[in-house]
Amino acid sequence: MGKKIVITGSDGFIGRVLTSKLIEKGYAITEFNLNHGDITKTNLDFPGIDHIFHLAGKTFIPESWVNPVPFFEVNALGTLRILEFCRKQNVSLTYISAYVYGIPRYLPVNEDHPVSPFNPYTHSKIVAEELCEFYRKNHKMKIAVIRPFNIYGPGQSDFFLIPLIIGQLLDKSKKFIELQDLSPKRDYLYIDDLIDALVLLFEKNKFDTYNIGSGISYSVKEIADCIFKQAGISKKIITANNIRKNEIPDVVADITKINRDTGWKPKISFEEGIRRILHRYSATIL
């Protein structure tokens, strides 16, 4: 296809899969991650490129409460530096944001729902989105802002819910599974479906703000039960009933807009996604 693409955060959970997919499709990929320097300070020199997928950022929400400054430096200032590069080089951009709506006023949540910072991490992402909108309007730049809901799949960090449950379930030294709260519900989307959406929006030249989710929510208890069923084993769950600060009780993505603009819709059911993750353990555990 000939187009040259930069992927920042290419060594992250989403970045690794996106990089592989775009290489498979024949794009020339330049990776930028921590091995290449600090995005807030390093000289950004990507000659002759056509597009940037900007994924680099700090993401661990509990850490953002303890030490918020690096989140604003990396997520907001880092994005500003990418925007300035794109402006000067006339390069289009896909910015990967986050769930930025706070406690929903209605369900499902569409792109017109007001945004509301409910932790320092999401606040930093909202600031970055505002920068994208400013550059889109004032510099007439082609910028897609993507709001993924809860993405899951093989290779996700252990501190996320699904790998946390699976890790405890398959650890023979653990007699039970420890969780904080079984009631919150989230919209979960398998990583491959997200990647398909990102590539499709890019290839169709859609530069707008889009929710990417499944349109279905699952509680922590329902997730654990699904994992037990697909694994064929179960353990007792011990819960501390700890409700996190600014906890969201339920969220469901309205994906009407991306479906209307591109025809995209999720292909992989939650049960199938869990099976694919568990398959990674089959050689040694199951």
> What are the tens digits of pLDDT across the range 89-132?
999 999 999 999 999 999 999 999 999 999 999 999 999 999 99
Q: Under a CB-based contact definition with an 8 Å cutoff, are residues 159 and 270 in contact?
A: no
Q: What is the CATH number of the domain that holds 220?
A: 3.40.50.720
* pLDDT bucket at 225, cuts 50 / 70 / 90: very high
Please say if the pLDDT value at position 263 is more than 70: yes
Domain assignment of residue 73, yes or no: yes
Residue 283 pLDDT = 44
* Cα–Cα distance, 161 to 165 (Å, whole number): 6
Domain assignment of residue 254, yes or no: yes
Domain assignment of residue 224, yes or no: yes
Please say if the pLDDT value at position 241 is more than 60: yes
Residues 6+ apart with CB under 8 A from 9: 15, 32, 33, 54, 55, 56, 57, 96
Domain assignment of residue 181, yes or no: yes
* pLDDT bucket at 2, cuts 50 / 70 / 90: low
**By residue range, what is the domain housing residue 73?**
4-279
* Cα–Cα distance, 254 to 6 (Å, whole number): 29
Domain assignment of residue 261, yes or no: yes
> What's the domain count of the chain?
1
Q: pLDDT tens digit string along 46-93?
A: 999 999 999 999 998 889 999 999 999 999 999 999 999 999 999 999
Domain assignment of residue 19, yes or no: yes
Q: What is the mean pLDDT of the chain?
A: 95
Domain assignment of residue 286, yes or no: no
Domain assignment of residue 284, yes or no: no
Residue that the structure tokens 């079984």 belong to: 182
Q: From its phi and psi, is residue 254 left (phi > 0), alpha (psi between -120 and 50) or beta? A: beta
Residue 284 pLDDT = 46
